[in-house]
Amino acid sequence: MDLTAAYASTKSALLGLSKAAVGELGPLGIRVNMVHPGGVATEMGAPGGAVPQEYSKAPLGRIGQAEEIASVAAFLASGSSSV
């Protein structure tokens, strides 16, 4: 059993929650950002370090790296992203 329906529905729920938070918190000067990476070279995205072949068809031709996601998150959390 794949269980992708549960995973996909929770990601969709977070998108809706984030959009609602933008409308509620934006007027208070609170920024809300979303990061929705595709496949990332973690135990979930590349179990045992084996990158699934389908990532060769991704726009960059490779799987994402955790450090790339972390740097985006750090930027969004910084004051530099509000300029």
Q: What are the tens digits of pLDDT across the range 12-32? A: 999 999 999 999 999 999 999
Q: DSSP per residue over 8-75, as a string?
A: HHHHHHHHHHHHHHHHHHGGGT----------BSSTTTSGGG---GGGGGSTTSS-B-HHHHHHHHHH
The residue type found at 69 is I
Which residues are catalytically annotated?
7
pTM of the complete model: 0.70
Tell me what pLDDT residue 1 has: 57
* Residue 60 pLDDT grade (very low, low, confident, very high; cuts 50, 70, 90): confident
